[in-house]
Amino acid sequence: MAPIQFGILMIPYQMLDVAGPVDILSTSSKSLIAQCEAAGLLAPGLSEKAIDIEFHHINTTMDPVLMTSNISLVPTTTVDDCPPLDYLLIGGPDPMTFKLDEKFADFIRKHVAAGKGIFTTCTGGMAISSSGVLDGRKATTNHQALEMAKQMRPQVNWVKEQWVEDGQFWTAGGACAGMDMFSHWVAKHYAPEIAAIGLMGLDFEPRDIEGKRVLRTEQVV
């Protein structure tokens, strides 16, 4: 099987909205687990079941983009050159000032029309809502901004849940809710030991969908 092509749109997002989710994926990834096997830290054979994934950081140009905490990130590709993606992640920008660029809106609509998966974390749900792809869907966004989201895009059925899965869309609340969502996504699609390696590597115990209960790693997987 070809590796999963995973894209991140480089809107000026809050670092943890993207860094948390992609590190959950990469800590359970084939390349990282294979390295641990080679070093004798894990039993051989696990990497065969791990997440085979390639990451693409996408903007309209290849210039560095300034994110929160003064972190500057360099894109790996552009909306024009990006290979076909299986999944696209959109983290949360400042909703007061952010406006979705038409090139990004177009890119998102094509991705959705191709039937591919979308993840949003924090205000990322609001950020993409102007493209219309979430209209008629159940979705969430940072819970502090839910009222603003309802005013901004009333066509979306905004709800206050830790995360929401609706067809090809997975939307989460604030950054750490995004990490909860990704942990459950990994547990849903991969072997329990693969999800456990990633979560234990990060020393992270995700909450459940109600956001109330802290689950122990072994309960999640």
Ligand X SMILES: *[C@@H]1O[C@H](CO)[C@@H](O)[C@H](O)[C@H]1NC(C)=O
Where along the sequence are the contacts to ligand X (CB under 6 A)? Answer: 10, 59-61, 63, 65, 70, 101, 103-104
Quote the radius of gyration of the chain (alpha carbons, Å): 17
Residue with Cβ nearer ligand X (67 or 176) = 67
**CA quadruple 167, 60, 129, 25: dihedral sign:** positive
57 Cβ contact list (under 8 Å, min separation 6): 7, 8, 10, 73, 74, 75, 76, 77
> What's the min distance (Å) between Cβ of 67 and ligand X?
11
Closest to ligand X by CB, 70 or 151: 70
CA atoms within 13 A on the CB side of 161: 15
Nearest CB to ligand X, comparing residues 51 and 133: 133
Q: Which amino acid is at 59?
A: N
To ligand X, the closest distance from the beta carbon of 108 in angstroms equals 12
Bridge partners of 213, per DSSP, are: none
Which residue, 127 or 179, is less far from ligand X as judged by CB? 127
Query: In this structure, how many other beta carbons lie within 10 angstroms of the beta carbon of residue 210?
Result: 8
Residue nearest to ligand X (CB): 101
Q: How far is the CB of 103 from ligand X (least distance, A)?
A: 5
Kindly state the tokens that stand for 12: 């000026």
The minimum distance between CB 155 and ligand X, in angstroms, equals 23
Amino acid at 173: G
Taking the complex as a whole, the smallest distance from the CB of residue 111 to ligand X amounts, in Å, to 15
Inter-residue contact 137 to 169 (CB < 8 Å): yes
Residue among 93 and 198 whose Cβ is closer to ligand X: 93
